[in-house]
Amino acid sequence: MNVKFNNNEIQLQRSDLAAIRDMIPEKAHILDLGCGSGRLLYALKTLKHAKVMGVEHDQQKILECAARGIPVIHASLDAALTDFCDASYDYVILSRTIQSVQRPDIILNEMLRIGKRGIVSYMNFGHINARIQMLFGHMPVNRNLPLPWYNTPTIRPGTASDFKDLCKTLDIKICREIPLTNEGDYLRRLAVLWPNLFASNSIFVISK
Amino acid sequence: MAQENCSSSVGIVQPSDYLFEEELPLDCGRSLKGVVIRYETYGTLSPEADNAVLVEHALSGDAHLAGYHSAEDRKPGWWDDMVGPGKPFDTNKLFVVCSNIIGGCSGSTGPRSIDPDTGRRYDMDFPIITIADMVRAQERLMRHLGIRKWFCVAGGSMGGMLALQWGVSYPEAVNGTIAIATTARVSSQGISFNWVSREAIMNDQHWLDGNYEEQPQRGLATARMLAHITYLSDESMNHKFGRALQESPDSNYVFAFSKDFRIESYLAHQGSKFVERFDANSYLYITRAIDYFDLSDCADGNLAGALKPVTTPFLIVSFSSDWLFPSYQSKELVRALLDNGNDVTYCNIQSSYGHDAFLLETESLGSLISSYLTNLPWEPPK
């Protein structure tokens, strides 16, 4: 699989990943938990000369990371974070993954043990579209949350406000919050004012 | 010619021998005179000598890594799927070297070689050797070949131990390491299997304290059968043999101790095949070297400490059903490397083949190796 990647490879389609890319400083040490096929890390390595490492549990995605030249550890996020030393990274990223682990609270503490800062990309179940669907008695299934309740990997649905409450409980500081919306959302301008209702996804930069 | 049959084969290859002029000092305090190393090479060494890869063989392997020894040769080298033009170890780009370890019986100096001091076979007078001794001998071969630094050292099983040892013994001579289905320290279970294997050989009345003219067939075959079980998995054995009987599927038990189940016949076949190609004394010496392998010995049991001088990227691969060197042992290694801040790629390949998967899961493993080598940066020797 001698794949050579071209410049398109560093164009990130997902707006949350692009936002994360833009906030990472040059040459930072980055750990991406649930790094998938390594697109974000590849962009950070190429554009920001970051020293990167990924953790992923899907074998096929690990092969894709390797093909991109991204170092990656095969592990489940519910088990393996003890392998990483205290304060060994500048940023630990958890993008659209916190709602897929057994214990989001434990992983947040682990992130801030391993990294100086954490970046969490969080799917907001408090978005107005989700609320409308709930009002009609169903768990949300939409563009941002495409899978039904019985086979979605998001086993810990929560709202942006729930996330903030959890951080408060854990004594975690939210240094920055970036509400994100989808292209074409007619209420997207309101997301800055009222993220819990109008942001489909939020990025939180956290620290202890 | 084999080359015409298969375009991605390295074709016909010839082994070479390198005779050391100087004695080789060993960990046990003794030294070996007149050491010969048997090796094969594939591809072309670049003028800068920056494309040399050393592939390490496992316990019963040899220097014949890929290709054929003659036009009539039916069986290619032991890792032919992985080494050749366009293959993961791509001989269009890389100069690949494989050498038989010292202590072996396939061309390099071992217990059945002649001791230059006495003019007789060493047999059990051969010194106890270690994995580090084997690497020390290979380092001389490296210099003989005009190489100052390997682009990568790779190996599976015991070969993985050699690959890891290379980095610790000669950190300045290794640019990258691939360690497959292996461990940084052999466990109590691993030592146990080797002990029972050696007991089987040494209790064979034909072993004659190692001075046999004809192999102690029963002992060596029993040792191999035991080892072979550890290379398989419960799942792969069930899948391949189940409880199938030797004669016919509907025949009844023979109610005797002769080979009744197909698995029994398979193991007996593996045992007798092994006796034809592998020397019993070599088996004793190599298994002992494996027992003594603990990379952390040089740092008072601290694996990360032992690996500290090795700053290169690593590829570590284990297999989910391997119970000889289970994945937790690879994870221990990964953890030590993470402690040291190395770039590590680790994959626990899902496989039912057990330890043998390192020779069989060529697709996933090949993809990982090829990606690793393609992306591995070259740091020229200082």
Task: Express each pLDDT in B271-326 by its tens digit.
Answer: 999 999 999 999 999 999 999 999 999 999 999 999 999 999 999 999 999 999 99
Q: What is the mean pLDDT of residues B146-164?
A: 98
Q: Which of A3, A71, A80 sits opposite B345 (nearest CB)?
A: A71
B338-380 pLDDT, tens digit per residue, is: 999 999 999 999 999 999 999 999 999 999 999 999 999 999 9
Does residue A8 or residue A85 have the better pLDDT?
A85
Joined together, the tokens standing for residue B87 give 């293959």
Q: Which of B338, B349, B369, B376 to mutate to test the interface with A (most CBs of A within 10 A)?
A: B338
Checking if the pLDDT of B250 tops 80, the result is no
Q: Are the beta carbons of A67 and B339 separated by less than 8 Å? A: no
Checking if the pLDDT of B248 tops 80, the result is no
Range of the domain at A150: 7-207
Alpha-carbon distance B289 to nearest alpha carbon in chain A (angstroms): 29
Domain boundaries, chain B: 2-187+295-375, 192-286
State the pLDDT at residue A82: 83
* Domain assignment present for A1: no
Structure pTM?
Answer: 0.94
Q: Are the beta carbons of A73 and B344 separated by less than 8 Å? A: yes
Cα–Cα distance measured from residue A57 to residue B224, given in angstroms and rounded to the nearest whole number = 36
Give the burial class of A79: count Cβ atoms within 10 A of its Cβ; 0-12 exposed, 13-18 middle, 19 or more buried: exposed
* Domain assignment present for A2: no
State the pLDDT at residue A17: 85
List the catalytic residue out of B50, B81, B279, B322.
B322
Q: How many domains does chain A have?
A: 1
Checking if the pLDDT of B124 tops 70, the result is yes
Q: Which of A3, A59, A88 sits opposite B347 (nearest CB)?
A: A59
% chain A with pLDDT above 90: 66
Q: Which of B345, B367, B374 sits opposite A72 (nearest CB)?
A: B345
State the pLDDT at residue B4: 42
Checking if the pLDDT of B109 tops 50, the result is yes
Confidence of residue A80 (pLDDT cuts 50, 70, 90): low
Q: Are the beta carbons of B374 and A2 separated by less than 8 Å? A: yes
Residue pairs between chains A and B whose CB atoms are closer than 8 Å: 63
Q: Are the beta carbons of B331 and A83 separated by less than 8 Å? A: yes
B67-104 pLDDT, tens digit per residue, is: 999 999 999 999 999 999 999 999 999 999 999 999 99
3-state secondary structure chain B: CHHHHCCCCCCECCCEEEECCCCEECCCCCEECCCEEEEEEECCCCCCCCCEEEEECCCCCCCCCCCECCCCCCCCCCCCCCEECCCCEECCCCEEEEECCCCCCCCCCCCCCECCCCCCECHHHCCCCCHHHHHHHHHHHHHHCCCCCECEEEEECHHHHHHHHHHHHCHHHECCEEEECCCCECCHHHHHHHHHHHHHHHCCCCCHHHCCCCCCHHHHHHHHHHHHHHHCCHHHHHHHCCCCECCCCCCCCCCCCCCCEHHHHHHHHHHHHHHHHCCHHHHHHHHHHHHCCEHHHHHCCCHHHHHCCCCCCEEEEEECCCCCCCHHHHHHHHHHHHHCCCCEEEEEECCCCHHHHHHHCHHHHHHHHHHHHHHCCCCCCC
A92-132 pLDDT, tens digit per residue, is: 999 988 999 999 999 999 999 999 999 999 999 999 889 99
Q: What is the mean pLDDT of residues B213-222?
A: 98
| Residue B269 bears catalytic tag | no
% chain B with pLDDT above 70: 97
| Residue B322 bears catalytic tag | yes
Reported ipTM: the value is 0.91
Residues of B in contact with A35 (CB under 8 A): none
Cα–Cα distance measured from residue B217 to residue B222, given in angstroms and rounded to the nearest whole number = 8
Alpha-carbon distance B272 to nearest alpha carbon in chain A (angstroms): 38
State the pLDDT at residue A67: 97
Residues of A in contact with B375 (CB under 8 A): 66, 68-69
B31-41 pLDDT, tens digit per residue, is: 999 999 999 99
Find the helix packing angle between A39-48 and A15-23, rounded to 10°: 30
Residues of B in contact with A74 (CB under 8 A): 346-348
Q: Are the beta carbons of B344 and A85 separated by less than 8 Å? A: no
Cα–Cα distance measured from residue B343 to residue A51, given in angstroms and rounded to the nearest whole number = 9
State the pLDDT at residue B7: 57
State the pLDDT at residue B221: 98
* Domain assignment present for A186: yes
* Domain assignment present for A112: yes
A24-38 pLDDT, tens digit per residue, is: 999 999 999 999 999
A149-175 pLDDT, tens digit per residue, is: 999 988 999 999 999 999 999 999 999
Residues of B in contact with A66 (CB under 8 A): 315, 345, 347, 367-368, 371-372, 375
Mean pLDDT score of chain B? 95
Q: Which of A30, A55, A57, A62 to mutate to test the interface with B (most CBs of B within 10 A)?
A: A62
Confidence of residue A184 (pLDDT cuts 50, 70, 90): low
Q: What's the CATH code, domain B192-286? A: 1.10.1740.110
Confidence of residue A21 (pLDDT cuts 50, 70, 90): confident
B360 and chain A: CB distance < 8 Å anywhere? no
| Residue B355 bears catalytic tag | yes
Find the helix packing angle between A104-114 and A160-169, rounded to 10°: 60
Q: What is the mean pLDDT of residues B263-272?
A: 96
Q: Are the beta carbons of B375 and A69 separated by less than 8 Å? A: yes
Alpha-carbon distance B376 to nearest alpha carbon in chain A (angstroms): 8
Q: What is the mean pLDDT of residues A27-56?
A: 96
Q: Are the beta carbons of B345 and A73 separated by less than 8 Å? A: yes
State the pLDDT at residue A3: 45
Q: Which of B339, B345, B348 sits opposite A66 (nearest CB)?
A: B345
List the catalytic residue out of B204, B352, B355, B356.
B355
- B2-187+295-375: which CATH number, 3.40.50.2300, 3.20.20.140, 3.40.50.80, 3.40.50.1820? 3.40.50.1820
